[in-house]
Amino acid sequence: MIPPSERGVALLSINAVFTTLAITAYVLRFFNNLSRARKGTLPLGHFIITDALVFGATFLVVLNGIMRIISILNGGIGWDIDRLTQHDITWALKALFVEELAWTTSLCLLKFALIILYGRIFVSGTGRKNALFIQIAAFAAVGGLLIGSIAYYLAACTPVRASWTPGIGHCVSPRAGWLGTGIANLITDVIIFSVPIVWVVDLQMSRHNKIVVCVQLFIGCIVSIISFTRIFFVLKVNPMNVTGTVVRADIFSCIELNMAIVFASVSGIAGREAISNFVHRFIVPRSTSYGGVYKDGSGAGYGVSAGRGDGGIDMADRHASWQKLNNTSVMKTTEVDITEEVV
């Protein structure tokens, strides 16, 4: 074991904090969606498929974090390469090789989950003729990124073990592969997070809820900003001194991957209500048509109240009132709250 450098300690700390955040967010997300699936508010098939994808991504996040720890403690990441032994360098390059594969695969699994979500919301929800085509194109783009990245990592060196054993075989420039993967990842990020914002306009929902959905999608764009910043630091990695110059790029790789899971999870758990309250207070109020529906005591029919006297909405009363309408078949309405469907 090699005593970590100051840069190595910083990377270890960031790795521990963000990996813990990602795992915590996933666990909360899982139990939240499990509860909804049991209640029938989330289709079981959607729950199984998307949660399997996000679980796979989270598992790879943990693997990525373990490899990062090994690269620092056994491989000397953070120290300049001329201070390390051949054994140290081999450990560092092996760990980085697995990190790269886990990083790319995890992000692609998350993107597949988001595309499936968009298919459920927009293809069936808006009836746009081109929505299914765009969904298929997005699947193809992310699938191409995944297959292309894995193929590159496995074929960059001949033989493969030359990736972590300097001096044998032949390898192409690693920077080209890192840059190509980073740019392709950024492009798919932009497509996945920006295209649905246009579709939100067509959804049959209140202006308040449309703004909430757009804000949630913009939160996802933060991951794209982190991805862009990572590319900047990848360009500064010196292939002749990988262990000493890769730390900053690895820090942003760690932050990007873990925050992708955090944002995807928290926006559907606690973040939705916080965003909703912010929009309600500072941008546009909730529609007053969401007041309680009650039965007239005279038997003449049903009426709509204006909500609580303080301007709020008693959600329990509102739900019970609408349930009465459904049970008596006076009104049959299916309202899909899109803001609850973010992965």
What is the DSSP secondary-structure string of 39-84? HTSS-HHHHHHHHHHHHHHHHHHHHHHHHHHHHHHTT-BTB-GGGS
Q: Name the pTM for this structure.
A: 0.73
Q: What is the mean pLDDT of residues 31-57?
A: 85
Q: How far is CA 56 from the centre of its chain?
A: 13
Range 169-173 average pLDDT: 80
Q: Name the H helices within 235-295.
A: 242-245, 247-266, 271-282
The residue with greater pLDDT, 193 or 328, is 193
- Report, in angstroms and rounded to the nearest whole number, the Rg of the chain calculated over CA atoms: 24
pLDDT in tens, 195-232: 666 666 566 566 666 666 666 666 667 777 888 888 88
Q: Give me 266's structure tokens.
A: 């928290």
Query: Does the pLDDT of residue 289 top 60, yes or no?
Result: no
Q: What residues contact residue 268 under an 8 Å CB cut-off, 6+ apart? A: 29, 32, 33, 340, 341, 342, 343
Q: What percent of the chain has pLDDT over 90?
A: 18
Average pLDDT over residues 275-294: 50
| Cα gap 167→293, rounded to integer Å | 76
Pair of tokens at residue 92: 């560092």
Nearest to 163 by CA among 239, 69, 65, 246: 239
Q: Number of helices (H) and strands (E), helices first, in the chain?
A: 11, 4
Angle at 74 between CA 241 and CA 5, to 5 degrees: 60
Q: Decide: residue 53, CB within 10 A, 0-12 exposed, 13-18 middle, 19+ buried.
A: buried
Query: For residues 34 and 102, what is the distance between their CA atoms, to the nearest angstrom?
Result: 26
Classify residue 338 by burial, with Cβ atoms within 10 Å: 0-12, 13-18, 19+. Answer: buried
When the pLDDT of each residue in the chain is averaged and rounded to a whole number, the result is 74
Residue type, 267: S
Q: How confident is the model at residue 342 (pLDDT cuts 50, 70, 90)?
A: very low
Cα 125 to chain centroid, rounded: 22
The arithmetic mean of pLDDT across residues 156-172, rounded, is: 83
- Strand-pair partners of 302: 295
